[in-house]
Amino acid sequence: MAKKRATATTSRSRQTAAGDAVPVVGAREPCPCGSGRRYKACHGREAAHAVTELVRRPFEGLPGECDWVALRELVPAATVPLTLKAELPAGVPSVTLGTVLPMAWPGLRRDTGAVLLGLQNDASSGDISRDLADTLTRALEAEPGNPVEGRRPAPDGPRLQDLLDLSAPFEPEVHSGFEFWLEDANAATGEVAASLERANEAAIPTVRLTGVAAAYWCETPEKNHLRWVMPHPEEALLDALARLHAAGASGLGDGTRLVGSFRAHGLVVPVWDLPVGMSAEDVEKPAAAFEERLTETLARTGPLTAEERRARSGFTNRQITLS
C-alpha cells in the first residue's frame, strides 16, 4: 500500500509567536520565519511533533469506543454504517466502516458512489482517528470505482470526532467472511472469487455477544475464547479482576478461565479461555452474570489482600499491549 509523504506543495502555514503565518516548506529548506535555520529544525519541529505524537485513546468520544477498538484489533470481518454530521455529498448514498478492505486499501469509492472506510490499516501519524478522517474526506471526493491510498494527514486536520454524528448509534455487524467487499459476491468469478475464498478461509469465526457490550466470542482449533473490551480505568479494572480471581469468581462457568488481558488504544481487553464446545450463545448468560459481579467489585475500595495482589501481578505480567 503506497504512502505519500507530506511535501512543500501544501499551502498550510504555522504561526510564529507574533502571530504571523509561516508557510510550510521542505524540511531541508531555510525556515521562512527568517531564523536562518532549516525548517525541520525550526517551525517544522512543531508540525512534525503534532503529526507523530501518539494519541493514547484515538476513539475516545466516539459512540461505541470499545467496539471501535475491537474492530480495529480483534474482529476479522465486520461492518458498521456511519452517519456524518454534515449531509452526504451528492452521489454518495452511504458511508460504511469495514474492518479490512480488499488489497488493504484505506478507503474505497464503489462504482455506485458508496464509500467504504477500512479500519485495520497502518497509521501514518500517531492519531488513528485523524488518519481515518483524512481517508474518509478524500473518499467522499474520489471518483466512483476508485480506491483511496494512504498518506500522512495534516497535523491540524479533522478527526473522526469532528466528522461523525456523535449521537448516532454504532452497531457493528460481524460477518463470517468478506463478501461485503463486493456489491454482489455471488457474481464473483476468476481471481476475484479465488481471493475472496482465501480471505474467508483465514478468518477466525467470531460472534459479538448481544447481552453485554463489546464482548466477542471466537473459535480456534484448540479452544474458544472470549475477548471483552472494557471502558473502565485500567488500574481500577485490574484491581477488580484480581479481587474476583482471588475469590474464585473470575470465570464464566465450568472449564473457563480468565487468562490475562490485552491493552489496546488505551483500553483493557480481558481474555477468557473457553472449552471447544462452548458456543457464543452458551456464554451469554455467564457473561451477563460476570458483568454484574464486576460492577459490584469496581465499587469496592481499599487495599488488596496478599492473595489479590498476587493475582493482580499475574495479570500484569501476562498483559500484552497491541497499540
pLDDT tens digits, 257-303: 999 999 999 999 999 999 999 999 999 999 999 999 999 999 998 99
pLDDT reported for residue 3:
35
pLDDT tens for each residue of 223-242: 999 999 999 999 999 999 99
Domains: count for the chain: 2
DSSP structural state of residue 6: P
pLDDT at 50 > cutoff 60 = no
> In terms of residue numbers, what domain contains 305?
206-321
- Of 162, 183, 202, the domain-final residue: 202
279 in the same domain as 195: no
Rounded CA gap, 247 and 265, in Å?
Answer: 29
Q: Where does the pLDDT of residue 26 fall: very low under 50, low under 70, confident under 90, or very high at 90 and above? A: low
261 and 151: one domain?
no
Q: Cα separation of 29 and 39, whole Å?
A: 6
DSSP state at residue 63: T
Assess if residue 150 is contained within a domain: yes
**Length of the chain in terms of residues written:** 323
Residues 83 and 181 placed together within one structural domain of the fold? yes
pLDDT of residue 13: 43
Residues 308 and 244 both lie in one domain:
yes
Residue 142 inside a domain? The answer is yes
Does 157 reside within a domain? yes
Out of 176, 202, 228, pick the residue that ends a domain.
Answer: 202
C-alpha cell at 229: 473490551
The set of residues, in sequence order, having a beta carbon less than 8 Å from that of 37 and lying 6+ positions away, is 30, 31
Q: How far is CA 78 from the centre of its chain?
A: 12
